[in-house]
Structure formats: C-alpha cells, structure tokens
C-alpha cells in the first residue's frame, strides 16, 4: 500500500474471524500465599486484520497480561484466545513482540540481529543478509550494518528491534511500552516511522502504553481497562482521525482533543480508583 493512501478496512461481521480475539477471558494468578489473584475478568476483544489497537489503563491493571495472553506466553484461566478463528495453544507463532527493554543481542552486529529471525527459520545466510539489508534501510539504519547495539543510540536500537520483528513479516505485532524509554523527539520520530511501515503492511498491532496521546495519535481504536483486580473493559473508542498521520501535528487537531477529553474522562476515574486502592493497601 502506498504511504499516501488511506488504510481501508473491510467491514467485519461476526462470521468473519478476527485476526486476534479474546473471548470471555479471565486470568488468575496464584499468590505465594495460595490466594487467587484475578487480574482480568471476562475480557472480550476482537481485532481485525490490519487494525492498530492501543490499550491503556491504570498501572498494574493487566495490560501486559493481556499482551502475554495474545502472545501465548500465558494461557487464560477461563475463556479463550483465537488467532484467525483458531484457538491459540502455546506460543503464538504469528506474532512478534517489541518490548520496552532491548530486543537485540549485544554480542551480535545489527545485520546479524536483524537477520536472526530468518536464519532461525532456515533461510540461507546470504539470503537472510540481503533481506536484512532491505529492512535496515527501511528503518533508516543504512551504513550501520556492522555496528554492535552498544555503538547505537536508544532510538537506533529501537529501529533494530523493529527491523528484527518486521523482517519475519508477522501478521501480529505486539508492542509493550516500546518507545517509553526514549526522549520525546526520538519517540515521535519512531512513532511516525512505525506508522509509515505499518501502513505498508497488513499487520494487526496491539500496542500498550501509559501515554493516552501516544495511543490516540497512533491507533484506529483505543481500549481503556478498568482498575484491577479483575479488570474489565471500560471503553473501546474508534479513532477516526485521517491517515497518514504525523504524530506531533495530529495532537493539535480539534477532533484529537475532543477524543482525548472523552477517553481521559474514563481513564482518569480508573486511575483515581487504582491510586486510592494502592494508598489503602500501603496504610
Ligand atoms: N506471572 C505472574 N504471577 C503473578 N502475578 C502476576 C504475574 N504477571 C502479572 N501479575 C500481576 O498481574 C497484575 C497485572 O500486571 P500487568 O503487568 O499485566 O499490569 P500492567 O497494566 O501491564 O501494569 P503496568 O502499567 O504497571 O505496566 C499485577 O498485579 C501483577 O502483579
């Protein structure tokens, strides 16, 4: 898809399998005391192919747990996770993850890090290198193929992480506060970069952030979770802002500000509930 075309969505009916779907998902952990800690309760989320969805909510409400369920790192206690209509069992091989922490191996060069996913899939070194060079160029790191992660800035290491994930052309991209450690300017550059690349793919993105502005500026939908324990979905907002977007400029759009106010009203209440219950526990 050309970068200037607007992403077009096929209307989904409930008979069309979503790219990823959580159906009545509850997740419980057993505390060291033996007590049951219910993190998520009866979560239902359908994410179509190609959709960019962010999830926000108070700290500790269960955002990363939701991502782990889609990645298949954790299994639901009740309900199920479906990937293209099929029940997910074990690790989700159609997904790639970009975390807040480093993805790259420090002892490998950029090209070895980026080509790794293809090498692990049995692609010959020369072919994997050719493909890696294309991705390194796409994320703006041409000329840095032989560098080690320690020789790169934080923003450049994030570009390596993106190239590492995208080279295997995942249908699902899972991002957990991927840009939160970056300074604000690098962060906006990376967000624009992510949107530009995503618009050329049909990947569905599930993006966790604490930053509501980041969520709105990137996404097609923003989901708000309630304060835990037993978090549920408080709101699911469609972000009908035009694409392609420039994340720094879109924030001044009156439609953006209206959405921000609406979603923040929901989120603020949950943050206050979470804050009050943390204070109660600490006293
Ligand atoms: N493996 C685990 N075992 C026990 N409890 C867990 C486990 N993973 C998460 N939890 C608990 O689940 C709750 C939700 O954690 P999670 O990391 O999903 O929240 P979050 O919304 O991503 O938090 P934050 O915004 O602070 O990153 C927390 O109370 C956490 O302690």
Count of other CB atoms within 10 angstroms of residue 98: 22
Q: How far apart are CA 239 and CA 251, in angstroms?
A: 13
- Ligand 1 centroid vs 42 CA: distance in angstroms? 17
Please choose from 40, 61, 207 the residue to mutate so as to test ligand 1's pocket, defined by most ligand atoms within 8 A of CB.
61
Count of other CB atoms within 10 angstroms of residue 7: 15
Tell me which residues have their CB closer than 6 angstroms to ligand 1: 29, 37, 39, 57, 59-65, 228
Q: How far apart are CA 174 and CA 207, in angstroms?
A: 6
Least Cα distance to 156 among 92, 198, 104 occurs for 104
Q: Candidates 3.40.50.300, 3.40.1800.10, 3.30.360.10, 3.40.30.10; correct CATH number of 1-94+171-283?
A: 3.40.50.300
Question: Cα 93 to the chain's mean position, in Å?
Answer: 16
Global ipTM: 0.97
Which residues neighbour 205 within 8 Å (Cβ) at sequence distance 6 or greater?
51, 52, 53, 172, 173, 174, 175, 198
Report the DSSP pairing between strands 52-56 and 204-208: parallel
- Ligand 1 centroid vs 228 CA: distance in angstroms? 10
Structure tokens at 191: 């967000």
pLDDT tens string for the chain (283 positions)?
Answer: 333 333 444 445 555 679 999 999 999 999 999 999 999 999 999 999 999 999 999 999 999 999 999 999 999 999 999 999 999 999 999 999 988 777 789 999 999 999 999 999 999 999 999 999 999 998 889 999 999 999 999 889 988 998 999 898 899 999 999 888 888 988 898 899 899 989 988 899 999 999 999 999 999 999 999 998 999 999 999 999 999 999 999 999 999 999 999 999 999 999 999 888 877 766 5
> Could you state, in order of their start, the residue ranges of all structural domains in the chain?
1-94+171-283, 101-169
Q: How far apart are CA 87 and CA 8, in angstroms?
A: 27
- Ligand 1 centroid vs 134 CA: distance in angstroms? 37
In ligand 1, the atom with minimum distance to the C-alpha of 58 is: 25
In ligand 1, the atom with minimum distance to the C-alpha of 65 is: 18
């Amino acid at each position: 898809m050309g970068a200037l075309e607007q992403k077009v969505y096929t209307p989904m009916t409930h008979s069309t399998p979503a790219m990823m779907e959580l159906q009545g998902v509850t997740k419980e952990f057993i505390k060291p005391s033996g007590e049951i800690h219910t993190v998520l309760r009866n979560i239902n989320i359908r994410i179509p192919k190609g959709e960019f969805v962010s999830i926000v909510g108070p700290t500790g409400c269960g955002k990363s747990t939701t991502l782990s369920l889609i990645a298949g790192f954790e299994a639901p206690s009740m309900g199920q996770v479906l990937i293209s209509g099929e029940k997910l069992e074990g690790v989700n091989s159609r997904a790639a993850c970009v975390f807040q922490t480093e993805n790259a191996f420090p002892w490998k060069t950029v090209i070895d890090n980026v080509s790794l996913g293809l090498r692990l899939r049995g692609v010959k070194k020369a072919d994997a290198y050719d493909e890696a060079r294309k991705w390194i160029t796409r994320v703006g790191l041409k000329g840095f193929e032989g560098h080690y992660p320690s020789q790169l800035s934080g923003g450049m290491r994030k570009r390596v992480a993106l190239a590492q994930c995208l080279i295997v052309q995942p249908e699902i991209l899972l991002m957990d506060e991927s840009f939160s450690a970056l300074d604000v300017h690098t962060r906006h550059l990376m967000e624009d970069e992510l949107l530009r690349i995503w618009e050329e793919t049909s990947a569905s993105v599930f993006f966790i952030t604490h930053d509501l502005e980041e969520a709105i500026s990137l996404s097609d939908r923003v989901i708000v979770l309630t304060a835990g324990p037993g978090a549920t979905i408080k709101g699911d907002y469609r972000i009908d802002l035009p694409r392609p977007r420039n994340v720094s400029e879109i924030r001044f759009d009156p439609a953006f500000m209206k959405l921000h106010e609406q979603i923040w009203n929901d989120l603020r209440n949950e943050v206050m509930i979470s804050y009050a219950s943390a204070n109660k526990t600490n006293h």
